[in-house]
Amino acid sequence: MRGAAKAIVAATTAFALAAAPAAANPIPEPEPSASVAWLPFIAIGGLLAGIGLYVLHERRAAIRPYFAGEDVTIVLEPSRARVTGVYRFRNPGDEPRSVKLRYPFARGPELGEPENVAVSGGDGEAVPFSWKRHDAAFEIEVPPRGEAAVTVSYEQVCRGCEFTYILTSTRDWQRPIDEARFAVVAPVQLAPVDCPYDWKEVPADEGLVRYEFGREDFYPDVDLNVRWQRPAFYFGSASLEGYADAPAAGN
């Protein structure tokens, strides 16, 4: 029995030594990879580069011309809308800046193509424009630490009893408009006129209704969609004469 026990102990010891030979002698710890050692420096460098780009972007934005205000009048007839808008752009920088602009028009089965489109500067001189897809494209000069205004007017046929004036394109400037004012004028036969904004009816010439609303720090998330009633009989309105070129600011 003692011989058998000794044999079992010897066999167990030999098996243990054979099963884990690596544990018999010390082995070195693996050294960290050189690329791993550089990771903190890469991360810090990326962070500093990101901060630098952000500061540069903010600095450029601070001196970039921006959309400062608009005064828009929309004149409605049973099957047509006439728009006149005065748009102001401000340059906070110390150098004159040229600003390239694109003016979008609402499209849809109920709206005709824009007609009689005209663009003029603050001095009343015509501003040349071209068509880029469905937008009117033009360029204006904004003086240093000053403003420049441009007037755009056009007409569109309305096959239904609604018209859309695009406001959401304001968000492309990535900042709100300082001040925006809107007026909608229509013959009384088309009243009541509805829109998604909270406006009020104000006194108007005889035979007309006029609605107005204004906003400061205006960052619209919906367009100005105007709806009206189609009258059974309409013989035109002499009271509308002269409104085509009258922006909201001038009334």
Residues contacting residue 86 through CB under 8 Å, at least 6 positions apart: 70, 71, 72, 149, 150, 151, 247, 249
Predicted confidence (pLDDT) per residue in 201-226, tens digit: 998 888 899 999 999 999 999 999 99
Would 171 be classed as within a structural domain?
yes
Would 223 be classed as within a structural domain?
yes
Contact 185, 73 (CB under 8 A): yes
Would 155 be classed as within a structural domain?
yes
Would 87 be classed as within a structural domain?
yes
Would 58 be classed as within a structural domain?
no
Would 41 be classed as within a structural domain?
no
pTM confidence score: 0.72
Concatenate the DSSP letters of all residues of 52-115 into one string. Answer: HHHHHHHHHHHTS-EEEEEEEEEEEETTEEEEEEEEEEEE-SSS-EEEEEEE----STTB---E
Per-residue confidence (pLDDT) for residue 29, from 0 to 100: 46
Average pLDDT, the chain: 80
- Give the residue numbers spanning the domain of 208: 66-250
CA 194 remoteness from chain centre: 24
For residue 48, name the pLDDT band (cuts at 50, 70, 90). low
Would 16 be classed as within a structural domain?
no
* Peptide linkage before 192 cis (omega within 30 of 0): yes
Question: In total, how many domains does the chain have?
Answer: 1
The label of the residue with tokens 């400062």 reads: 68
Query: Does the structure show a pLDDT above 60 at 59?
Result: no
Predicted confidence (pLDDT) per residue in 92-150, tens digit: 999 999 999 999 999 999 999 999 999 999 889 999 999 998 899 999 999 999 999 99
Would 20 be classed as within a structural domain?
no
For residue 76, the domain's CATH number is 2.60.40.3680
